[in-house]
Structure 1
Amino acid sequence: MHTYSLFERLIFPQTYLNRRKLGRELEGKTILITGASSGIGEQLAYLLADIKVHLILVARRVDRLATMKILIETKAAQVSVFPVDLRNEKEMTELLAFLQQLPDGLDVVVSNAGHSIKRSIDQSLDRYHDFTRTMAINYLAPVQLLLSIIPLLTRKQGHIINISTVNVLLLPTPNWSAYQASKAAFDFWFRAAAPELNAKGVFTTSIYLPLVRTPMIEPTAAYRKMPAMSPEHVAKIIGHSMYTKMKIYKPWWLIFGQLASILFRRYWEYSTARKLRQKGQRL
């Protein structure tokens, strides 16, 4: 587990998790976690392992899922693993058919699977597939999944937890157009659907995260020394939301970033463009 620096302890204050309440809330329930084979999804599965729940772990890596199943089932939870690439229509159809046949229905969905990519527009001119791939996993796949299982969740008065990013609530940044557009698309869809879902008795939670130290950020060298939240910490936040049913989680400091996004938008856009021009001239 990553040890926080003094600064990280300030900006990522620990979340209190009442394990007794969590256990009472979840015992006997069926919980689907996408992106379960590493990072946030993996740590959440381990957090819930001591509770008598049925975990359905969805991810692409068969070997990691098999290992997790063995480890978790030494404890209280029952585990079903479903190796699937959510961008693959055939595999997605098989997953949806499996979920529809669950004997005890479905109670909680943690929409965590995602794909990140950093690439400038100039480097993307012949890489349209970057945008279709990113949109497929970050937007279209969770929409397709939820449209299929909303009736299941409605019958159980279930709970949908969307793992999002603070970036969708701030000014967009260069080089991240594919990722930020896809995450914003699903965030808007989920927020638009939330009142309708709530009216059906389905709880909805949006968790807006800062940088998290997961395998997804490793390709970006600049992130390796930046302050980042640990996946174990995020798992506690998700667990806390499962029994409190909170609507939104945001870092305490995000309000200042949102205010700056309004007040200094023109300066941000001007200064960013100038820096990019200067960088281009040096190359």
Structure 2
Amino acid sequence: MKKFNFCEYFMFPPLNINREKLEQKLSGKTLLITGASYGIGKSLCHLLAGMSVHLVITARSTDKLLILKSEIEKQGTKVSVFSCNLYNTLECENLINFLKNISGGIDIFISNAGKSIRRPLNQSLERFHDYQRTMNLNYFAPVQLCLYLIPVLKKNKGHIISVSAVNVLLEPAPYWAAYQASKTAFDQWLRSNIPELNTMGITTSIIYLPLVKTRMIAPTPIYKNFPARKPIDAAIIIAKAIISKQNSYKPWWLFICQFASLTASKWFRIICTFYVKKNEKNRNSL
């Protein structure tokens, strides 16, 4: 039997979704979900299974997408698959050409694909490609898709949902420069454009998620014992945003972290510097 985690329960209370309201909101709609083969994207697809929607799902793994398509279509939901490496601008253009053939166009764009990377600066000096790939996937790809989709979403009175992270609203932490810069870039791009998008009749929602138990956080050992949301919880949060069209979602405790980040930024940097020095000392002693 799994041990009850009070801290996790306190930070992440149980969630539920009104499936009837969700289906009413989505009936006849077409959704584009990036990063659909694993984690949050996959959980969202299963959450929407059985509803009268058209899911357009994309990710790098063709096999995973086809398995997911088979599972979802067995429950009566239409699924279109396009395998695409969003790191690559040309492949992103191929996806756009594919989307041009979707009857009626896209109604809801869920920008979920993302790449996380944690690496010290000293280990990144000859790895500029890490920054390029992270920026391509977390920033340039969703911008490229949005620029194509905006006229379609304007026509359909559509909805853009960005799956972001609480980190972009807090003091930056060491070792996460590539990830935080790229996630913050798209967050700023979207927030800067919200007034214009809303004027066009396009709804925007930004989902600021805490840690989620996906393969993205697996390479970071320190996260093993951290409280984290389940992928299905993140999927439910996205679904609630579809129903309510809320501007953003933030964990209830984030305002405490933001206040601390604002008022104690100097102490945070001192602590981070001490942490980095300790890590460097331990690494050099090996």
Aligned to 1:93, the other structure's residue is in SS state: helix
Root-mean-square deviation (Å): 1.3
Instruction: Work out the number of aligned pairs and report it.
Output: 282
The unaligned stretches of length 5 or more in structure 1 are: none
Answer whether contact 1:53 1:76 (CA < 8 A) is retained. no
Q: Match of 1:188?
A: 188
Matched-pair contact (CA < 8 Å) for 2:58–2:82: yes
The answer on whether the counterparts of 1:16 and 1:240 sit within 8 Å (CA) in structure 2 is: no
Q: How high is the TM-score relative to the length of structure 2?
A: 0.96
CA distance in 1, matches of 2:250, 2:98: 33
| Contact 2:37–2:58 (Cα < 8 Å) also in 1 | yes
Q: Aligned partners of 2:4, 2:44: CA distance in 1, in Å?
A: 19
Rate the CA distance shift 1:53–1:4 in 2: closer, same or farther, 3 A. farther
Q: Does the alignment pair 1:152 with 2:152?
A: yes
Percent sequence identity over aligned pairs: 46
Question: How big is the shift at 1:195?
Answer: 1.1
Take 1:6 and 1:21, find their aligned partners in 2: how far apart are those partners?
A: 31
Who is 1:21 aligned against? 21
Matched residues in 2 for 1:226 and 1:135: separation?
26
Could you tell me whether the CA contact under 8 Å between 2:89 and 2:141 is conserved in 1? no
Write the deviation string for residues 123-145 of structure 1: whole angstroms up to 9, x where unpaired.
11111111011000000000001
Structure 2 portions without partners, runs of 5+: none
- One-letter amino acid of the structure 1 residue matched with residue 23 of structure 2: G
* Partner in structure 1 of residue 88 of structure 2: 88
Q: Give the SS at the match of 2:175.
A: coil
Amino acid at match of 1:124: S
Look up the match of 1:70: 70
What are the superposed Cα offsets for residues 138-192 of structure 1, whole Å, 9 maximum, x if unpaired? Answer: 0000000100111111100000100000000000000000000000000000101
Q: Secondary structure, in 3 states, of the residue corresponding to 1:240? A: helix
CA distance in 1, matches of 2:230, 2:210: 10
Q: How does 1:1-283 map to 2 (within 5 A)?
A: 5-282=5-282, 283=284
Q: CA 1:196–1:276 in structure 2 vs 1: closer, same or farther (change >3 Å)?
A: same
Does the Cα contact within 8 Å between 1:100 and 1:149 map onto a contact in 2? no
SS in structure 2 opposite 1:173?
A: coil
Q: TM-score, normalised by structure 1?
A: 0.97
Q: 1:151/1:161 Cα in 2 relative to 1: closer, same or farther (>3 Å)?
A: same
Tell me which amino acid in the other structure corresponds to 2:83. Answer: P
- Whole-angstrom CA distance in 2 between matches of 1:75 and 1:209: 29
* Paired residue type of 1:28: G
Counterpart-to-counterpart distance in 2, 1:272 and 1:8: 25
Q: Is the 2:15–2:233 contact (alpha carbons within 8 Å) kept by the matching residues of 1?
A: yes
Distance apart, 1:76 and its partner CA: 2.3
3-state SS, counterpart of residue 15 of structure 1: coil
